Amino acid sequence: MNFPLELLTDTFAICRLDFDAPIPDWTHCDFVSITRTWDELSIVCRQDDVPDDVQAERGWRCLRVVGKLEFSLVGVIAILTKVLAESGISVFVVSTFDTDYFLVRQIDVNRTVEALKDAGLLPRTGNFLAGSNVTNLEPFSRSLSGVHQNARTNHHRHLSDGDSVLSGLRSRPCR
């Protein structure tokens, strides 16, 4: 199975509110994860949107597994997080109906990219500089043994004007 990864441009915060708090109006970005439990209301959203008085862990970057993942697919996050755990990199995972996201601290982005490259999950070479004028992005993925073969979507994507690539990760601003 091939898993292209996309680095979202924005910096994110992981917030904690009281379990009975209303969902705040500052959660309006394209990427927001809201989870309510009996103990808390957790929100992952753009750091710049979070008021200063909200309890939050700030300074996280988000990587997305590009494409729709089938529910029967096993081991996607396990493979990625194992590599990062072995490198001492903390990961916060968010899964949606379609795909998986994992957040790493901003200070660990370069180490994350290097760990993924060392594990063969990102290419070692290519034109992957932030802000480069890339018109066609080759697949930057690896065949993972023991993982169910999925539909190959989003392998060759044309980047829009707002897209850039950083160290082998497609990067897209939150709109």
List pLDDT tens digits, range 108-139: 999 998 998 888 887 766 433 232 222 222 33
In the predicted model, what is the mean pLDDT of the chain? 74
**pLDDT > 60? residue 169:** no
Closest Cα to residue 49, out of 36, 67, 30, 64? 30
Return the amino acid letter for 57: E
Distances (CA, A) of 136 to 118, 128, 132, 161, 165: 24, 11, 11, 12, 11
What residue numbers bound the domain in which 53 lies? 5-172
CATH number of the domain at 61, please. 3.30.2130.10
Inter-residue contact 44 to 33 (CB < 8 Å)? yes
Quote the CA–CA distance of 16 and 43 in Å, as a whole number: 7
Quote the CA–CA distance of 109 and 12 in Å, as a whole number: 13
| Predicted local confidence at residue 89, as pLDDT | 97
Domain count, the chain: 1
Q: Regarding beta strands 5-18 and 33-36, do their DSSP bridges make them parallel or antiparallel, or are they unpaired?
A: unpaired
**pLDDT > 50? residue 40:** yes
Residue that wins the pLDDT comparison between 42 and 158:
42
List pLDDT tens digits, range 85-114: 999 999 999 999 999 999 999 999 999 989
| Predicted local confidence at residue 4, as pLDDT | 79
